[in-house]
Amino acid sequence: MIVVGLLALILAFDVAHAGEIVALPNEEPSLVLQEPNECLQGNSYCAVRTSERRKFKWIEKSATLTMDWQTLLLRLEPGVFRLISGNLWVSPQKGQSEILTVETEAAQFSSRYEFWIRREESQILILSVRGPVEIRLRGDSQVYVLESGFQNWISRVDRRGRAQMGIPRAIDIESHIEVWARLFPGSRTEFRAALEEWRPIWLNAVGLSSEIHQELVHHRELAMAREHRSKKAQAEARASENQRLRELFRQKVLLE
Amino acid sequence: MTRFVLFILCLTLALIEVRSYFHNYFSQSDRLRGEVGKLKERLARETLRRDLMAHQLDDFRQVVATLLPEALKPQRSNRADDYPLRNLATIVFEQKSLNLGLERAGVLFSKAKTHFQQGEYERSNRIFSSLIQNYPDTVHLAESYFLLAEGQFQAGDFEGSVRNLDAMITLFPESSLTGYGMLRLGKIFESQDRFEDAEVVYRTISKMFKDESMLVQEAQSRLKAVEL
């Protein structure tokens, strides 16, 4: 009787598992996808993509490049990278590293300090965390410097043949902390300490940013006043032209 | 009894194991899992390659965009093989061509006005007509209508003149130039013995253009003449 019961149990187990979805063994992480295969170890061209909800630390020279989820990064040559999609955090190993360059299709960013890049739909956001970042825009020979605690956006090459850049402003703290917390390598306590240490840099940037914007507003006011004067002069010229026309018509229509 | 139960349990476990082995062997699920895994990895790799190529193309586009303004400089020759670049230029410099158009309208207006002042009404009328038709955004539109209507009157084309004065009243009802145009319209009606129409026009001028004393004065004097 017991044997029959057990056999029935086995049969029921078998039937229940006949339509089960198969769990794929490859769901286990190979950490990142590399192209060409296993290229991370070398020094030459290498494309690396992180998968969903999986960040990756790439140690290069004396810097660490932390790739966020679903980020695609190319190593063009030692010390020179190209970010194609996602977010990338660049930090020196011990305070300061050799100069590391990260490119995008619109601009090139070089620094030996900590910075990070966020790729958005139509523009690139560069955030300088500690120390200056040099920015070279495509189609523009000038080198711009983004000071620590500041962020700026860069858009693609426009009809003037050069990439465009905004006005630097203090880092947007909320989105910055969100990404930083996600990519930070240490524990929560270490993160809090790092954040406290960084806070004065940000506060300084906020003060400077305010001064820059006040100056900009002042310049804009001056420009608007100039434009107003020019428009007024044009209106006066037009009024005088209209007066001349009226005179002409008085002669033609009234005094014929 | 206990021995028997233990034996049965061992036998059952052995049966489960054997069944599991044969199930896997015959259903080939392990092999299929492996294949699906490999296919998934291949797909991810192909997607990565495709994205890299798409980026190369995008990067190339940016290089072209950097070089384009230089290539589209206006002093380039107009040879047939420049056509694709010139074609592209019409899109890239859209704003510039619009400004050029407005500048051109200004030049045309000055030219037509000179002809008008010299009494060459046929020529001025031709230019004003083309200006109104081709540059409806120009700031000289009201004056152009006005001078065209007057030029047509001077050239004896009363119908054309009335048509343009009518357009002026519709488009620029508050312009003082329209007042003078209406005065001309009244005179045309008078010359055609349409005194009632002329009266309406003069009354309208008196009502609408109170700030233009000379205009109102003339309208009222014409009104008295018509009423007599």
Chain B contact for A211 (CB, 8 A cutoff): no
Q: Which of B71, B87, B119 is the last residue of a domain?
A: B71
Residues B210 and B106 in one domain: yes
Residue B35 forms part of a structural domain: yes
Helix (H) or strand (E) holding B180: helix B176-191
A29-234 belongs to CATH 3.40.50.1970: no
Residue B84 forms part of a structural domain: no
Residue B85 forms part of a structural domain: no
Interface mutation target, options B5, B180, B217, chain A, most CBs of A under 10 Å? B180
| CA dist B55 → A85, A88, A254, B46 (Å) | 10, 17, 73, 14
Question: Mean per-residue pLDDT for B153-173?
Answer: 86
Residue B77 forms part of a structural domain: no
Alpha-carbon distance of A82 to A25, in angstroms, equals: 32
Residues B115 and B198 in one domain: yes
The answer to whether the Cβ–Cβ distance between B29 and A22 falls below 8 Å is yes
* Residue that wins the pLDDT comparison between B129 and A15: B129
Residues B159 and B101 in one domain: yes
Phi-psi region of A70 (alpha: psi -120 to 50; beta: other; left: phi over 0): left
Instruction: Please report which residue ranges of chain A form alpha helices under DSSP H.
Output: 2-17, 173-183, 188-249
Number of domains in chain B: 2
Q: A87 has which bridge partners? A: A118
Residue B133 forms part of a structural domain: yes
Residue B82 forms part of a structural domain: no
Instruction: Among B23, B32, B62, select the one facing A156 at the smallest CB separation.
Output: B62
Residues B64 and B117 in one domain: no
The answer to whether the Cβ–Cβ distance between A246 and B177 falls below 8 Å is yes
Comparing alpha-carbon positions, the chain B residue that sits nearest to A22 is: B33
Q: Are A136 and A107 in contact (CB under 8 A)?
A: yes
Q: Which of B55, B71, B87 is the last residue of a domain?
A: B71
What does the pLDDT look like over B118-158, one tens digit per residue?
889 999 999 999 888 888 777 788 888 889 998 998 888 88
pLDDT tier for residue B12 given thresholds of 50, 70 and 90: very high
Structure tokens at B228: 């007599």
What ipTM goes with this model? 0.70
Q: Which range of residues forms the domain containing residue B7?
A: 2-71
| A158: closest CA of chain B, how far (Å) | 7
Query: In this structure, what CATH number is given to the domain that contains residue B195?
Result: 1.25.40.10
Residues B33 and B121 in one domain: no
Alpha-carbon distance of A104 to A162, in angstroms, equals: 14
Say how many CB pairs under 8 Å bridge A and B.
109
CB-CB neighbors (< 8 A) of B55 in chain A: 84, 105
Instruction: Among B16, B44, B51, select the one facing A84 at the smallest CB separation.
Output: B51
Residue B81 forms part of a structural domain: no
On the question of pLDDT at B220 being above 70, the answer is yes
Instruction: Among A14, A158, A254, select the one facing B218 at the smallest CB separation.
Output: A254
Question: Mean per-residue pLDDT for B178-187?
Answer: 86
Residue B78 forms part of a structural domain: no
Residues B40 and B114 in one domain: no
* Residue that wins the pLDDT comparison between B90 and B83: B83
Residues B189 and B223 in one domain: yes
